[in-house]
């Protein structure tokens, strides 16, 4: 089977590595995979391919969705923890990347520091996928768009409000929403606003798509006009020592029934894990407008779509034994990287 490959980047570190057409292409492919309309469901297009999954941070949804996704496409997932790899500690990021390139066909990494992802991607010619960093969470943003599209139809002109910390999830949502013409408002404490460069970039994209990008610090009007209200924990993994400091600052930004009364038909999103009674009340998270588990499921489908677009199906090379004697050794050396050029 031949899978059509539209122009696609060799890395997926940021939502903006995809142009608007690329985002729609991934969402369409994810929908086809989810509903059994893609031949990739049964044809194991990644048979013969291996994907290294590096986890500096523990994970439930990210690890299971990527591991299952690679396996469903016929590939072999290889899970590596931070201690096993020691990125930048036990050995350099470039050494890790170039070693892995001799064994696997792509790297998926969930890291603390975004610079580590950039270092991995700069050192190799194979695909590198951001499974979460301190700067962005692009796979989550694609899953968010997919679930919103399922429940709202066209995203252009719809309004999603993110309430809480202007973190990596908020950053990717701003960029993704702007790319598809969706209005995004982040409502957060002033000291915890999204990075100014991310906001500027989202507004630049929005100028061409008709989206509106807003940053507000008023929780009293947070949900007004919203088609969807989205929140996340107040202290992410690695910020546990800030939890007590953050709690009083963020408590006015809790998503409650009173807040949602301004948008009684709005959908409720959360990237999970959730702390009921902190960033969101249990009766909102578990209420009839909540689509958080549809949202979590879609991590699988969008990541399978990204893998299909980045990792080319395996095509067996000719048997070196059939080649003339002088070409066998260089052929064998080249086959160790499956013909990929070495980074210059």
Known catalytic membership, residue 289: no
What is the Cα–Cα distance from 320 to 203, expressed in whole angstroms? 53
Known catalytic membership, residue 139: no
Q: Catalytic one among 11, 31, 63, 271?
A: 271
**What is the three-class DSSP state of 229?**
strand
Known catalytic membership, residue 188: no
What is the Cα–Cα distance from 315 to 329, expressed in whole angstroms? 20
What is the Cα–Cα distance from 272 to 324, expressed in whole angstroms? 57
Known catalytic membership, residue 137: yes
Q: Catalytic one among 49, 183, 254, 299?
A: 299
Helical (H) or strand (E) element with 295: helix 292-310
What is the Cα–Cα distance from 277 to 331, expressed in whole angstroms? 61
Q: Catalytic one among 49, 61, 63, 110?
A: 110
Phi/psi of residue 326, nearest 5 degrees:
-65, -20
> Between helices 138-152 and 168-179, what is the axis angle to 10°?
50
Q: Catalytic one among 232, 254, 281, 309?
A: 232
What is the Cα–Cα distance from 332 to 314, expressed in whole angstroms? 17
Known catalytic membership, residue 312: no
Q: Catalytic one among 137, 149, 201, 270?
A: 137
Known catalytic membership, residue 146: no
What is the Cα–Cα distance from 130 to 115, expressed in whole angstroms? 11
Q: Catalytic one among 140, 146, 295, 303?
A: 140
Catalytic residue numbers read 110, 137, 140, 232, 271, 299
């Amino acid at each position: 089977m031949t899978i059509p490959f539209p122009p696609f980047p060799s890395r997926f570190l940021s939502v903006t590595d995809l142009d608007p057409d690329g985002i729609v292409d991934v969402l369409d492919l994810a929908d086809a995979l989810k509903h059994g309309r893609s031949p990739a469901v049964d044809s194991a297009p990644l048979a013969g391919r291996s994907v290294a999954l590096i986890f500096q941070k523990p994970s439930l949804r990210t690890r299971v969705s990527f591991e299952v996704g690679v396996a469903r496409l016929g590939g072999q997932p290889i899970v590596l923890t931070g201690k096993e790899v020691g990125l930048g500690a036990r050995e350099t990021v470039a050494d890790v990347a170039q070693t892995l390139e001799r064994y696997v066909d792509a790297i998926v990494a969930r890291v603390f520091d975004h610079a580590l992802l950039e270092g991995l991607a700069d050192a190799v010619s194979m695909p590198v996928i951001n499974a979460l960093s301190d700067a962005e969470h692009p796979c989550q943003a694609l899953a968010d768009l997919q679930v919103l599209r399922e429940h709202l139809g066209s995203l252009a002109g719809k309004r999603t409000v993110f309430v809480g910390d202007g973190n990596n999830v908020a950053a990717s949502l701003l960029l993704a929403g702007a790319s598809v013409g969706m209005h995004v408002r982040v409502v957060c404490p002033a000291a915890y606003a999204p990075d100014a460069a991310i906001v500027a970039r989202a507004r630049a994209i929005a100028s061409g798509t008709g989206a509106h990008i807003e940053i507000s610090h008023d929780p009293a009007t947070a949900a007004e006009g919203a088609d969807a209200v989205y929140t996340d924990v107040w202290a992410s993994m690695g910020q546990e020592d800030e939890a007590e400091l953050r709690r009083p600052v963020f408590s006015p930004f809790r998503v409650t029934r009173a807040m949602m009364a301004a948008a009684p038909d709005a959908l409720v999103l959360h990237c999970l894990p959730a702390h009921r009674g902190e960033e969101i009340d249990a009766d909102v998270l578990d209420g009839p407008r909540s689509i958080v588990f549809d949202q979590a499921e879609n991590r699988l489908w969008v990541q399978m779509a990204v893998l299909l677009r980045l990792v080319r199906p395996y095509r067996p090379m000719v048997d070196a034994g059939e080649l003339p004697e002088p070409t066998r050794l260089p052929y064998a050396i080249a086959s160790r990287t499956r013909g990929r050029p070495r980074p210059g």
